[in-house]
């Protein structure tokens, strides 16, 4: 940054024990927006994102006018806002309705040679269109055109559910809504360049679950990544597969499995299935689901119990304004969710806690920290307390972008007493810093079994017979 941030780097009232330089976006944004509201040097700004089938998501607000002395804050505020909206909503066409100087900054950053080249490339892959950034006047920006569809909740018959994570593959055999068999199979798919490996492993798991049912009526799947019409558009599980092979073998993988099994088969993003699991267990809608596993997954069900068609890939959504925030190893961006709400966060924070981790897979390193915690090691407690503070501030940020009443937290990181510490810490942040939000939402942590295999059971309910 050429100029220091004057407003966005606001210090939180509750400092994460192991990360004193954390500067939550939720507090920084509030300081910036309050200053804009009180200023006479402000301008309206509109952001519109067009995605598949002509659907459009919009944001409207105000920013400081260029030349008002807060240009550095405004550029970062708008760029991080665009980044969040891209991974929350998705889109191949980005329209900035407002000052040319601000739009020009976004165009430079979100270009094939800019700092956000990863995001540009991924959005182009997802929507199979070149990513473009356009500038227009505020009153000429596109208007919203959203849609939502009902998701899952079908419990009749004999079903198989699966959840593909980066460190394990969870299975459930479900008969009339009751899980009669569950299992977790360890695997490490992201290092495998041969898609036949993935297809074979998934098939083996389905056959294993099928042995526990009299017949298979439907199959539902949950997986990290972006899926449109059961096609794999982008998924870190397959990151080692060469692009041309990905197009031929990975993209149609679940369509091929559907054909092979001859039954209804539906696959959804693991975050949306997390939200579905929450809705099924709570018997409530307006649910934001967050799964803390090998990465961060998120999903959202609206007040009608429908998914919105948004990406909800909050692993890539920024939560920290600290200029020295941790860098995501895949996207190369700083301060994004995956480094705060996953086993990556536990591994990252361990040295700050004074814990030397064994040289093993991150999933085993997480287990090592959790075992220390079970044995009363106070250093491990600090890790979960830090993640809890992160979560409280992030939930305030999410509440600015989503309309939810319930938050369900799942995933391996929340297993054991660590999950209680995380939720307690998040609640304390909301109560102290954001009492208006704390009054409106409820945080939920499912039982231990549901934390680990709840997504697989919920996934089984996706297909309609």
pLDDT digits (tens, 9 = 90+) for 211-257: 999 999 999 998 888 888 899 998 889 989 998 999 999 999 999 99
Note whether 110 and 307 are within 8 A (CB): no
For residues 245 and 285, membership in a common domain is answered with no
For residue 414, the 8-state DSSP code is G
Same domain, 310 and 346: yes
Considering the domain boundaries, does residue 21 fall inside one? Answer: no
Residue 390 in any domain: the answer is yes
Instruction: Report d(CA 31, CA 25) in Å as an integer.
Output: 10
C-alpha radius of gyration, the chain, whole number: 22
Last-in-domain residue among 254, 269, 284: 269
Whose tokens are 């018997």? That residue is 283
Q: pLDDT of 341-385, one tens digit each?
A: 999 999 999 999 999 999 998 989 999 999 999 999 999 999 999
Q: What is the pLDDT of residue 448?
A: 57
Domain assignment of residue 310, yes or no: yes
pLDDT value, residue 30: 98
Domain boundary among 74, 109, 140: 140
Domain hosting 176: range is 149-269
pLDDT of 153 reads 86
DSSP letters, 357-411, are PPSS-HHHHHHHHHHHHHTT-HHHHHHHHHHHHHHHHHHHHHHTT---SEEEEES
Are 117 and 238 part of one and the same domain? no
Q: How far, in whole angstroms, is CA 87 from its chain's centroid?
A: 8
Residues 279 and 401 in one domain: yes
Say if residue 321 is in the same domain as residue 437. yes
Looking at the fold, whether 186 and 95 belong to one and the same domain comes out as: no
The pLDDT assigned to 1 comes to: 41
Q: Which two tokens stand for residue 108?
A: 């430079």
Residue 366 lies in a domain: yes
Tally of CB atoms within 10 A around 251: 18
Please, are residues 254 and 263 in contact by the beta-carbon 8 Å criterion?
A: no
d(CA 20, CA 7): 18
N-terminal to C-terminal alpha carbon distance within the chain: 55
Give domain status of residue 193, yes or no: yes
Number of domains in the chain: 3
Angle (CA) 155 296 8, round 5°: 135
How far is residue 259's CA from residue 190's CA, in Å, rounded to a whole number? Answer: 25
Assigned domain for 170 exists: yes
Split the chain (465 residues) into runs of 10 and give each run's mean pLDDT: 79 98 98 98 98 95 96 97 97 97 98 97 94 98 90 91 88 93 90 94 96 97 87 90 94 97 93 83 89 90 88 95 94 97 97 97 94 97 98 98 94 92 98 98 78 73 92
What is the model's pLDDT at position 96?
98
Query: Do 248 and 356 belong to one domain?
Result: no
Indicate the residue among 235, 269, 303 that finishes a domain: 269
Per-residue pLDDT at 453: 53
Q: What gap in Å lies between CA 21 and CA 135, rounded to an integer? A: 35
């Amino acid at each position: 940054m050429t100029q220091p941030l004057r407003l966005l780097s606001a210090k939180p009232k509750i400092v994460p024990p192991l990360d004193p330089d954390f500067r939550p976006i939720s507090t920084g944004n509030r300081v910036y927006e309050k200053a804009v509201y009180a200023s006479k040097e402000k301008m309206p700004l509109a952001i519109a994102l067009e995605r598949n089938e002509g659907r459009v998501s919009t944001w409207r607000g105000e920013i400081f006018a260029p030349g008002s002395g807060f240009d550095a804050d405004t550029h970062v505020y708008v760029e991080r806002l665009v980044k969040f909206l891209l991974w929350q909503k998705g889109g191949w066409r980005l329209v900035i309705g407002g000052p040319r100087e601000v739009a020009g900054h976004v165009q430079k950053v979100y270009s094939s040679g800019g700092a956000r080249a990863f995001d540009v490339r991924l959005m182009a892959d997802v929507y199979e269109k070149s990513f473009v950034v356009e500038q227009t006047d505020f009153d000429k920006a596109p208007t919203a055109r959203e849609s939502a569809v009902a998701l899952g909740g079908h419990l009749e018959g004999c079903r198989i559910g699966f959840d593909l994570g980066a460190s394990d593959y969870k299975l459930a055999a479900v008969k009339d809504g009751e899980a009669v068999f569950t299992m977790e199979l360890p695997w490490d798919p992201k290092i495998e360049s041969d898609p036949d490996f993935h297809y074979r492993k998934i098939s083996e798991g389905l056959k294993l679950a099928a042995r526990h049912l009299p017949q298979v009526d439907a199959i539902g799947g949950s997986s990290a990544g972006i899926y449109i019409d059961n096609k794999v558009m982008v998924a870190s599980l397959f990151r080692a597969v060469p692009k041309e092979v990905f197009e031929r073998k990975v993209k149609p993988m679940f369509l091929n499995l559907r054909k092979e099994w001859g039954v209804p088969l539906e696959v959804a993003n693991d975050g949306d299935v997390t939200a579905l699991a929450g809705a099924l267990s709570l018997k409530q809608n307006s649910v934001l689901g967050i799964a803390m596993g090998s990465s961060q997954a998120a999903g959202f069900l609206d007040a009608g119990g429908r998914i919105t068609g948004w990406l909800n890939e909050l692993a890539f959504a920024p939560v920290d304004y600290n200029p020295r925030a941790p860098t995501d190893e895949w996207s190369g961006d700083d301060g994004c969710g995956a480094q705060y709400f996953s086993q990556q966060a536990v591994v990252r924070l361990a040295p700050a806690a004074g814990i030397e981790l064994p040289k093993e897979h991150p999933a085993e390193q997480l287990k090592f920290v959790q075992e220390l915690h079970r044995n009363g090691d106070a250093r491990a407690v600090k890790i979960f307390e830090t993640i809890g503070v992160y979560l409280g501030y992030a939930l305030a940020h999410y509440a600015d972008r989503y309309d939810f009443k319930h938050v369900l937290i799942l995933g391996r990181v929340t297993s054991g007493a660590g999950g209680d510490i995380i939720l307690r810490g998040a609640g304390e942040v909301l109560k102290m810093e954001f009492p208006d939000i704390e009054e409106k939402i409820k945080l939920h942590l499912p039982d231990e079994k549901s934390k680990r295999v709840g997504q697989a059971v919920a996934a089984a309910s996706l297909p309609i017979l």
